[in-house]
Amino acid sequence: MSDDPIVQMTGIRKDFTGVRALDGVDFTLRPGEIHAVMGENGAGKSTLIKVLTGVHTPDAGDILLDGKSVRFHSPGAAQAAGISTVYQEVNLTDNLSVAENLFAGREPRLGPFINFRAMRRKAKALLDDIGIDLNVAAPLSSYSIAMQQLVAIARAVDIEAKVLILDEPTSSLDRDEVAVLLGVMRRLAANGTAMVFISHFLEQVYEISDRMTVLRNGKLVGEWATADLPENELIGHMLGREAVVLEQIERAAAAHHVADETPLVQAVGLGRKGSIAPYDLDVRRGEVVGLAGLLGSGRTETIRLIAGADRADSGSLSFDGAKVGGHNPRTASARGIAYCPENRKTEGLVGDLTVAENMILAMQASRGWARSIPVARRDKLVAEFIEKLDIRPANPDMPVKNLSGGNQQKVLLARWMLIEPKLLILDEPTRGIDVGAKADIQKLVAELSADGMAVLFVSAELDEVTRLSDRIAVLRDRDLIAVLESEADMTTEKIVDTIVAKGGER
Amino acid sequence: MNSYAKRLMWPVLILVALIVVNIAATGIDFIIPSVNDGRLGGAFVNILRRSAPLMLIALGMTLVIATKGIDLSVGAVYAIGAAIACQMIIGQEDQSAAGLIFSAVALALVVTAVIGAWNGTMVAYFGIQPIVATLILMIAGRGIAQLITGGQIPKVQDSSPFTQLGRGEIFTIPLPIWIAALVFVAIALLTRKTALGLLLESVGGNPEASRLAGIRSKGITVLVYLVCGLCAGLAGLIGAANLGSADANNGGLWIELDAILAVVIGGTALLGGRFYLLGTTIGVVIIGTLEDTIINVGLSSQWQFTAKAIVVFAVALLQSPEFRGWILKPFKPKPEAAAPAPAPAEEVPAK
């Protein structure tokens, strides 16, 4: 690792109207290393990456690539110089085949025509090489988002990238797929490809990265070898405060254990064909029930039936002692069931509407269109929740799409807290958001449940599930296989064991 | 408010430019209304009077487009509305009876509202794409109008009060202008004084998120298409009253395209979401003024379509942020000096 750096950025400064996004940041990348760039949302990670990939031009500072000074004016120029990027959201073409996606723009030719046979052969070889097995002639859309992500990576890898930038590549992958991806990364590193890795999953960062560069508020905090920087110190550097927040929640959640007579939610044999096998699940008032399982295990499908987002075709659901019939999002909201879906952008928020408008949407929907919420009342409620949830910027008239992921999630939470629900259903509320906002949301969940609200809570991070939940429902292969109740069982090991054991049974 | 004003800036500038061109060509009389025989006249007032049907249709279209939809059937619905009223009136001996006029107008409006609701039902409940769902009636609608009129062009007597809907005036102001203004105010109140506007923008901006937030998006969609059909029917009545006849084939021909154009010129995106009623109004007046401008500057009427295309092209370019950035670049003194300038503009809505 003593070789000359392949990328050396020094004193990078980037201003956006009125905001200094990067202020004198240095970044060094050596061949064959996996280098994590860490920081909260808004710390400048994305801007740094965009400067490197030519999306933004820096206002000051130098970039050396292979020792030569470069300045990219377009992503194409950076790519031509050997810097490839794989983004969080797959940007490939859904209705083209896997092979076509892999070779779009550089198809093998036969005279003026595309040689489809050669293309499929090369595509197969490329995917075999990184250890995934797909039908390359099938349209990309026939595969899961996770597989599409791997195809995007395969494409980037094949463009002979000297530098590969992976921006949250694992956020939609399950454990096995993450393992495949990390394996691919190791193989590439061994071949000398330098990689920049951005991820909110600290576990993965520690597993794969050699070095870390930490940013905070657009400034460089420092660079460390991963082995020299324990997790709590890293979080301390990222937050700029001692990371005690997460610890406190643990106690708050453990402090209350409610034994209520009649559960608020009683699902008996509730199921939906092709989506989730019939399951029984109770949720009591003031209780946090976590749902754990791998991606695709049926976590989201389970809660969507209770939320009324999907219609159950078997079993029954009781809420607050009464049988629920004709369940849909509107009647659910009228009963006091709030549902924050997994995908904030496509299912949660209306991007063009303002923060205030998004917040009052559920409340307004329950009043109907004819009874508008009075402006004064609206402004007061919105201001109250912006302050309570510490939404930044504290501007109710800003389009919600301009907010960071964490703040968007808070707006979504505020929307439902406004109608004072009895049951709050959260699907991956902390995915893809920064550590500070994550802690805020976890704290909020603990507080709400302490006030008597029931919470159903899905998270891919087992740590989070075990920390927050009073009971944990474990899912596997679209089947609810166990509910862990005792204190001793509430560990990540126990959850993993349960999933694995059930797998062995079959 | 500020972003709202910014949206309207380019359409307003275009309209002002068109008016200036007309004044230069025909004198200041173009814009100054004249009063003769106790009725308001003059070139510009006539433009407004003639634009009233388009105005009504464009307002309805604005709401439909806000829901991510489109209504191609409005021209055909216009013809149906006109055909029903005229056919009913000419069937009677006394074409001046108030009861007859009233019931003819009412029947036309009820039928066109039902047609609109049918469009909305196909879109909201049957999940048919709006462009396809309304295309059906765009084609079938004129056939229905022909069946109503029996393939003839019914001519209402000039003495019938029905024609006043297009030719009359109240307090010297032409009746069509009154109707268009009243409908504008009604729709503005309906959408902005209730929560309908917000829910519409939410449904158009993100249908799934709106459903999960508990919004009755299907009902709202049907309502919006109903209003659009009603507006088209009313526009048909004004048009028929003005001509004194209902032409099933040519009444309101291509008006759907002008209406979509007016909506887009006014700043409402075809992708749905935010909508701008005032912008649509300006768009309508631009289109109306343009037709006169071509004659006034001495071009033959054959230029009409080409000139319209050129103006549309100009508006589309001016509304494109990329194009504006490119064309304004030489006028920015220095990047450093220019940067702070737009900042306050962004911050005002922040207030």
ipTM for the predicted complex comes to 0.81
Q: What would the mean pLDDT of A236-249 be, rounded to a whole number?
A: 58
Range of the domain at A369: 346-420
A160-211 residue pLDDT tens: 678 889 888 876 677 777 888 888 888 888 888 899 998 877 788 888 999 9
Report how far Cα A295 is from the mean position of its chain's Cα atoms.
Answer: 12
- Nearest alpha carbon to residue A328 among B206, B124, B215: B215
Q: Which helix (H) or strand (E) holds B193?
A: none
Contact A430, A464 (CB under 8 A): yes
Domain membership of residue A388 (yes or no) is: yes
Q: A270 phi and psi, to 5 degrees?
A: -70, 130
Number of residues that make up chain B: 351
> What residue ranges define each of the domains in chain B, with the CATH number in brackets?
2-350 (1.10.3470)
Residue B36 identity: N
Using DSSP's 3-state secondary structure scheme, residue B47 falls into: helix
Domain match, A113 and A76 both: yes
pLDDT for the residue B340: 39
pLDDT for the residue A465: 86
Domain match, A411 and A502 both: no
Domain membership of residue A341 (yes or no) is: no
pLDDT for the residue A413: 93
Residues A361, B212: C-beta atoms closer than 8 Å = no
A356 at B interface, C-beta within 8 A = no
- Nearest alpha carbon to residue B202 among B273, B259, B118, B123: B273
Dihedral angle of Cα B300, B304, B308, B311, to the nearest 10 degrees: 10
Domain membership of residue A504 (yes or no) is: yes
A339 at B interface, C-beta within 8 A = yes
Q: Which of A213, A241, A269 delimits the end of a domain? A: A241
Domain match, A37 and A160 both: yes
Measured distance CA(A188)–CA(A208) in Å, rounded: 12
Report how far Cα A211 is from the mean position of its chain's Cα atoms.
Answer: 23
Domain match, A232 and A364 both: no
pLDDT averaged over chain A?
84
Residue A140 identity: L
Burial class (CB in 10 A: 0-12, 13-18, 19+), A13: middle
- Name every residue in B having a CB less than 8 A away from some CB of A: 193-196, 198-199, 201-202, 205-206, 208-216, 220, 273-274, 339-340, 342-343, 346, 349-351
Domain membership of residue A372 (yes or no) is: yes
Q: How many domains does chain A fold into?
A: 3
Whether residue A258 is predicted with pLDDT greater than 60 in this model: the reply is: no
Least confident of A155-159, A224-228, A457-461: A155-159
Residues 311-330 of A with CB under 8 A from B: 329-330
Using DSSP's 3-state secondary structure scheme, residue A23 falls into: strand
Could you tell me the pTM of the whole model? 0.75
A376-393 residue pLDDT tens: 999 999 999 999 988 888
What are the structure tokens assigned to A277, written together? 């096998």
Residue A483 identity: V
pLDDT for the residue A295: 65
Measured distance CA(B49)–CA(B40) in Å, rounded: 10
Domain match, A265 and A277 both: yes
Residue corresponding to tokens 């999907």: A310
What are the structure tokens assigned to B255, written together? 């008006």
Q: Which of A420, A445, A477 delimits the end of a domain? A: A420
pLDDT for the residue B159: 82
Measured distance CA(A49)–CA(A216) in Å, rounded: 15
Domain membership of residue A2 (yes or no) is: no
Residues B206, A367: C-beta atoms closer than 8 Å = no
Angle (CA) A85 A6 A43, round 5°: 55
Please list the helix, strand and coil fractions of chain B in percent, rounded to the nearest 5, in that order: 75, 5, 25
From the first residue on, what is the mean pLDDT of each consecutive set of 10 residues in chain B (351 residues)? 72 90 88 82 89 96 95 96 92 84 94 96 94 93 92 85 87 92 96 93 92 91 96 96 89 91 89 92 93 86 84 77 77 47 37 32
Question: Going by C-beta distance under 8 Å and a sequence separation of 6 or more, which residues neighbour residue A217?
Answer: A42, A43, A44, A240
pLDDT for the residue B349: 38
DSSP A53-93: TTSS--SEEEEEETTEEE--SSHHHHHHTTEEEE-SS--S-
A476-497 residue pLDDT tens: 878 899 899 877 788 777 887 7
Q: Which of A187, A218, A241 delimits the end of a domain? A: A241
Q: Which helix (H) or strand (E) holds A480?
A: strand A479-484
Residue A20: strand pairing partners = A15
pLDDT for the residue B56: 97
Q: What would the mean pLDDT of A99-121 be, rounded to a whole number?
A: 87
Contact B280, B261 (CB under 8 A): no
pLDDT for the residue A291: 93
Domain match, A252 and A383 both: no
Residues A17, B340: C-beta atoms closer than 8 Å = yes
A231: pLDDT confidence band, cut at 50, 70 and 90?
Answer: confident
Chain A positions touching B227 (Cβ under 8 A) are none
Q: Where are the alpha helices (DSSP H) in B67-174?
A: 74-90, 98-124, 130-149, 164-167
Residue A10: strand pairing partners = A62
Measured distance CA(A110)–CA(A120) in Å, rounded: 14
Residues A349, B209: C-beta atoms closer than 8 Å = yes
Rg value, chain B, Cα: 21
Domain match, A371 and A389 both: yes
Chain A positions touching B209 (Cβ under 8 A) are 341, 346-350
Domain match, A31 and A175 both: yes
Rg value, chain A, Cα: 24
- Nearest alpha carbon to residue A149 among A89, A82, A85, A79: A89
Domain match, A52 and A149 both: yes
Least confident of A55-64, A265-274, A461-470: A461-470
Measured distance CA(A302)–CA(A324) in Å, rounded: 16
- Nearest alpha carbon to residue B119 among B87, B151, B73, B181: B73
Measured distance CA(A353)–CA(B143) in Å, rounded: 41
Report how far Cα B221 is from the mean position of its chain's Cα atoms.
Answer: 19
Alpha carbon distance, N-terminus to C-terminus of chain B: 10
Question: Going by C-beta distance under 8 Å and a sequence separation of 6 or more, which residues neighbour residue A249?
Answer: A439, A442, A443, A446, A467, A468
Domain match, A265 and A414 both: no
A209 at B interface, C-beta within 8 A = no
Whether residue A506 is predicted with pLDDT greater than 70 in this model: the reply is: no
A394-437 residue pLDDT tens: 889 988 988 888 889 999 999 999 999 999 999 988 877 777 78
Contact A127, A68 (CB under 8 A): no
Residues B216, A371: C-beta atoms closer than 8 Å = no
Domain match, A411 and A374 both: yes
Q: A264 phi and psi, to 5 degrees?
A: -65, -45
Residue corresponding to tokens 């933004």: A56
Q: What is the CATH number of the domain that holds A26?
A: 3.40.50.300
Domain match, A184 and A297 both: no
Half-sphere exposure of A152 (CA within 13 A, CB side): 26
Nearest-by-Cβ selection for A369 from B199, B206, B214: B199
Domain membership of residue A93 (yes or no) is: yes
Domain membership of residue A460 (yes or no) is: yes
Number of residues that make up chain A: 506
Measured distance CA(A416)–CA(A411) in Å, rounded: 9
